[in-house]
Structure 1
Amino acid sequence: MPPKAKAPGKARGPAKRKLAEEFPPGEVLTDTAKKSWKLGSPIGQGGFGLIYLANENSANVVDAEARYVIKVEPSDNGPLFSELKFYMRAAKPDLIQSWMKSRKMKYLGVPKYWGSGLHERGGKKYRFMVMDRFGTDLQKKFEECGKRFPRKVVLQLGLRLLDILEYIHEHEYVHADIKASNLLLSHEDPHQVYLVDYGLAYRYCPEGVLKEYKEDPKRCHDGTIEFTSIDAHKGVAPCRRSDLEILAYCMVQWLCGRLPWEDKLQDPVYVRDAKLRSQADIPGFMSECFPSQDKPGEMEKFLEKIKLLGYTDNPEYDALRSILQAGLKSAGAKDDGKLVFAAPANGANGDGKLRAAKRKKPLEKEERSEEVEGSPVKKRRVPKKKAPKATKVVTVSVDMSTQTSPDVAQVKKPRTRIKKTTG
C-alpha cells in the first residue's frame, strides 16, 4: 500500500514542473541576503524550470552581455534544492578565492554561488539560484570536432578537472556525473572550463566522517551509463575514486571517439561487466580503444593508478597530474592554458598539432592527393608506384586514365606482368 500511495506523487512531479511560467524581463528577485537581482530573457530550460540572464538590480536593462544567470523552479520541485546544498556549502566566492590563492591558481573551474531565495508570483512560490554565466558545453565542441579532441586538449582538460575534483573532494563532496555536456566554457574566456550540474553531487564525508562501502541494489547504475563508475553500477554511493574513474572514461572517449561498451548502453549489466573486464585488463582495454593508432601511455598509467585506490582512500592528485603532464611532454606539447578544439585533419598528427604546408605554387590534382601531413611531394609518382603492384589489366588501365593522352594508356598495357602472375 505505501508504494501505491507514493506513485501518484511521483506521477505529478513532471506536471508540476510544467507549471513553471516564464517571467517577463525586468522581474526583480530578492535573495536571502536581501540583495536584488533583475531578470533578462530566458536562455535555457531544464527539468527544474528556466534559466534567465540576470544582473544586479539597477535601472539598466539586462542585455545580452549579462554577467550572471538565475535558475528558477517551482518550490515544490527537488533538483535545484539538491544542487543548492552543494553550492551553499562549497561554492561561495570567498571559499573558492581562498583556495586559488593558497595554491597560486589563475582560476578554478567551479561555478560561484552568488545567492538564492524564494520568489512569489501569482500566488505561486519559486526557488531560484544566482550563478556565473557560461558559454557552450564541451559535448557540442566534441561533436563539431568529429567526436575527437586533440591529445593536448584532452590532457589539459584532465589537469583542469583534477584541480576541480580535488577542491570539491576537499569540501566533502563528489560530483558523480562528469561528462562533456556538464563541462562549460567560460563566457568571458573560452580557454577556461567549468564543471556544472551538481544535481547528483554526494556528500561522501559529512563533518569529516567517511561513508562506508555498502552495495544497494535499488541504486544500481546511477549516473550517465557510459561513464558512471563501477561503484555506481553496484549500487554503492559515489566516492573520490568514482569521480576519477568517470574522468578517465571521459578522457579515453575524447581521445578515441567511442568507448567499447557504447553499442549496448540499454543493457546496464553488460556495461558494468565490460567495465569490470577493462579494469582487470587495462592494456587490453587500451588496445581495444586504440586499435589502429598509438596508445596514449599516460592514460594506461592513469587508469592503473586509479585501480589501486580503495573506496575511502584519498587520491594522490599530484601524482595523477604528473602522469598527465608527462603525457604532454611526450606529445611535444605543454600546458599553455590554451584550449584549441580543432578536429584532427590532413596535416594533423596524433597530438592535434598541425604541420604547416609551405606551398610556393598551386598543386596539380594528383599532387594534392599525395600530400602527407600537409607537405606536398616533389614529383608525381602515383602511376609508377602502383603499377608494379598491379596484377590485373583493369587496375593499370584505371591508373593510366589519369594521363592526358589515351594512346599512352594503350602502349603501356602490362602484358609482360600478366605472364609473371600466371607463371
Structure 2
Amino acid sequence: MPSALPDGEPVPDDGALPAHALAGAAERPLGFYLHVPYCATRCGYCDFNTYTATELRGTGGVLASRDNYADTLIDEVRLARKVLGDDPRPVRTVFVGGGTPTLLAADDLVRMLGAIRDEFGLADDAEITTEANPESVDPRYLETLRAGGFNRISFGMQSARQHVLKVLDRTHTPGRPEACVAEARAVGFEHVNLDLIYGTPGESDDDWRASLDAALGAGPDHVSAYALIVEEGTQLARRIRRGEVPMTDDDVHADRYLIADEVLSGAGFDWYEVSNWATSAAGRCLHNELYWRGADWWGAGPGAHSHVGGVRWWNVKHPGAYAGALAAGRSPGAGRELLSEEDRRVERILLELRLREGCPLSLLRAEGLAAARRARAEGLLESGPYGEGRAVLTLRGRLLADAVVRDLVD
C-alpha cells in the first residue's frame, strides 16, 4: 500500500501561503504536477499513492471515482489561482503522473491541461508531459493528447524481457513500448522518454543489455534508468521475504549502472542527472529540473506535494478525502512545513550534486569542504570543476552518490 505522509503543521482551509512565500515569485519558474492516482493493477514493487478499482471499492463512493476525477482536479487548479493571487507567471512545465494517467480519457487529460492554460497561461515554450503505460494508449489516444497541447510523453518500459516484466507485475508485452514510441513520433510528439528499471530479481547482465538496446532502437531522446528499490509493505518485498525470488545487491546495481552509462553514452546520450540521460539539452526533462533546482511547483491531486517560495505542503492521500475537501470548499492540504535557510541549503546539496553541473562548493560548511577535498582525492569528484568552485561527481562518484552527499552535507 502507499507509504505514509510526513508530519507537518496544518494547512489553512483556504490554502493561503505566508507572504514571504510569494515574495519575488515572478523571478522563479512555475510548474504544475497533476497526480492521477489510478492503476488497473498494482505492480509488485510500487508503493506510490495509487489505487486499483478493488482497493477503492466502498472507500469513497462517487468521490473516489475516476469518472469525475478531471473535474475534481480542475477545482484544485482553480484553488491554486486563488492562493497565488495575481502571480503573473505563465506555467513553464506541466507533468501528469501517477498511477496511470492514461487510464483517464485523453479528453480528460486535455481538459486538465486546459484549466491550467485558462487560469495561468502557458509559456510559449512550455514542456507538457504525461506518463503513459504502453498497454493503455493507442494512436488515436496519442493523437488527442498531441492535438490538445502535450508535447512530451514518458512510457514505462522497465524491461524488454518477459520474465523480468513478470517479476515486476507489468502487464505489457515486450515490444509494445517501442511501438508506442513510433506511434507518438507519428502524431508529432517532439520528446519521448522511456523509463527502465535495473536490478530486478532474476535479471541478468544480458537481459539488461537487451533492454537498453531495445530502448535505444525505439528512438527516444531521453532514457531514465533506476535501480529497483524494494520497499517494505510491497508485494515484491513479501515475495523476497518468503524466498520466492532472490534479492539483488548493491554490487549488481553498480554493474548494471556502469553498463547503462556505457551503452547510453555510446549511443549519443549524455547524463545530466544521476539516473537520467538525454540526446541534447532540449531533450532533458525540464519539469524534473524545476524540482532539482528548488523552483516553484504546485502539485494537484491526492498525496501530491507542492513547493512555493520555501513552503512545502502535501495533500491528503485518499481520492475520496481529496475530492471531499474540494467539494466542501477547503484546501485538500494535509500538512506543510516552512523550510529554514539551513533546510534549503541542505536540500540544494542533496539535489544539485546529482546534476551534471554539480553544486557550488560555497554551499558547504567546513566539514563538508573537508569531505569534498577527500572525495576529489579519492576520484569521486571531478578535478576540473572542483578547481572552479563546483562539486561534480565522476562516474565512480555517481555509483556512490548517496554516500558522497551524506559526507558533504556534514
Range into which the TM-score falls when normalised by the shorter chain: under 0.3
Structure with more relative contact order (C-alpha pairs < 8 Å, separation 6 or more) = 2
Q: Which has the higher strand share?
A: 2
> Could you state the TM-score of these two structures normalised by the residue count of structure 1?
0.22
